């Protein structure tokens, strides 16, 4: 371990910024891509249960396998990591989190790496597909990946089985071709007037729950019956429920759970979407976090977003540590920030 630590080019502190897993995920992607080793201490120090949880451990193991990395000893709750990457290779692996940990966050960690591989990759990711504090699959597929496509990314994702908390049991498939990303700018506000809502529910959840959620969404946004629908999930490993509200350029998602009323689920999703609709920005704050690394790899670009999250600032810190990139932000008004990536 000492030999590996001495080789590390970059030293990071996982307690800075939001103190969560974003620092680890971005560092793994950038280390594999740049070939620069890193040491990370105080992993997820800002969380109630610090150190590597199952989904973070899987991220490390998956990236290490794809790029042939050497690492320090890996175990759950570990708070320090040393990572020395090798050469990136195309992958056709199955990566299993083993819990309801987020497959979409694992996807976002692997995707930039696989785009640098010398051949096509097709991987399957097992775990949670609809988890709190992580983008749901539909957000990745309908909001994030279309932006990457505009940057010349050759990527396809599929939802093979839904995985709700707490059992997980979901599966995503990800197909990636080698891609050279191109810089893009997103500043013009799209027409956000066309909205729709979808309630996801398993057979164990009364249909009336989904109906009440959709009724609240219809009232909040003046939706018609043609704008809303229910999707019954028949293969989930445990009961689950979610409400999705879609607009041009964004998607909000809120989850049901034991003791949580359908009206509160709807309120959460409505609040998130209303923030986006009230802003002149084309990029919501979650997408702003996710676009930083691809734009940095493209060497430039920018966008206008409705806000800057702690994840955003953590991403900036890690990106600027690995790449000769400067990320500038300027507040335009109460509901909009301009972000510029300079190569």
Catalytic residues: 311
- The tokens of 203 are what? 């057979």
Report which of 268, 274, 245, 246 is spatially closest to residue 256, judged by C-alpha positions. 268
Q: Are 184 and 149 in contact (CB under 8 A)?
A: no
Distances (CA, A) of 320 to 47, 64, 249, 327: 24, 22, 27, 8
| CA–CA dist 20, 22 (Å, integer) | 6
| CA–CA dist 247, 15 (Å, integer) | 35
Residues 6 or more apart whose Cβ sits within 8 Å of residue 325: 296, 299, 319, 341, 342, 343
**Residue 146, Cβ neighbours under 10 Å: how many?**
11
**Residue the block writes with tokens 């609709």:** 277
**Residue 11, Cβ neighbours under 10 Å: how many?**
12
**Residue 260, Cβ neighbours under 10 Å: how many?**
14
| CA–CA dist 325, 77 (Å, integer) | 32
Q: Are 136 and 244 in contact (CB under 8 A)?
A: yes
- The tokens of 58 are what? 């899987």
Task: Concatenate the DSSP letters of all residues of 192-252 into one string.
Answer: ----EEEEEEETTS-HHHHHHHHHHHHHHHT--GGGEEEEEESS-SS--EEEEEEETTEEE
């Amino acid at each position: 371990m000492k030999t590996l630590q001495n080789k590390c080019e970059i030293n990071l502190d996982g307690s800075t910024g939001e103190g969560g897993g974003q620092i680890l995920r971005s560092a793994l992607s950038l280390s594999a891509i740049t070939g620069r080793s890193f040491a990370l201490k105080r992993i997820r120090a800002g969380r109630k249960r610090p150190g590597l949880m199952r989904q973070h451990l899987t991220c490390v193991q998956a990236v290490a396998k794809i790029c042939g990395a050497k690492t320090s000893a890996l175990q759950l709750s570990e708070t320090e990591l040393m990572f020395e990457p090798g050469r990136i290779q195309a992958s056709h692996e199955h990566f299993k989190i083993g819990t309801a940990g987020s497959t979409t966050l694992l996807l976002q960690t692997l995707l930039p790496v696989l785009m640098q591989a010398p051949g096509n990759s097709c991987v399957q990711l097992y775990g949670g597909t609809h988890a709190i504090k992580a983008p749901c699959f539909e957000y990745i597929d309908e909001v994030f990946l279309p932006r990457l496509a505009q940057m010349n990314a050759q990527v396809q994702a599929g939802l093979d089985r839904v995985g709700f908390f707490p059992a997980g049991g979901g599966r995503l498939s990800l197909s990636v071709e080698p891609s050279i990303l191109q810089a893009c700018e997103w500043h013009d506000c799209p027409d956000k007037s066309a909205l729709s809502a979808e309630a996801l529910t398993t057979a164990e959840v009364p249909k009336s729950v989904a109906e009440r959620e959709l009724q609240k969404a219809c009232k909040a946004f003046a939706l018609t019956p043609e704008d809303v629908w229910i999707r019954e999930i028949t293969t989930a490993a445990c009961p689950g429920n979610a409400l999705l509200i879609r607009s041009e350029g964004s998607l909000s998602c809120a989850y049901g759970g034991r003791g949580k009323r359908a009206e509160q689920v709807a309120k959460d999703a409505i609040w998130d979407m209303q923030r986006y609709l009230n802003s002149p920005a084309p990029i919501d704050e979650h997408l702003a976090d996710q676009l930083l690394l691809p734009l940095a790899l493209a060497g430039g670009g920018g966008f206008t977003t409705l806000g800057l999250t702690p994840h955003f600032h953590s991403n900036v810190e890690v990106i600027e540590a690995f790449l000769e990139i400067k990320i500038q932000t300027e507040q335009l008004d109460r509901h909009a920030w301009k972000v510029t990536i300079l190569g």
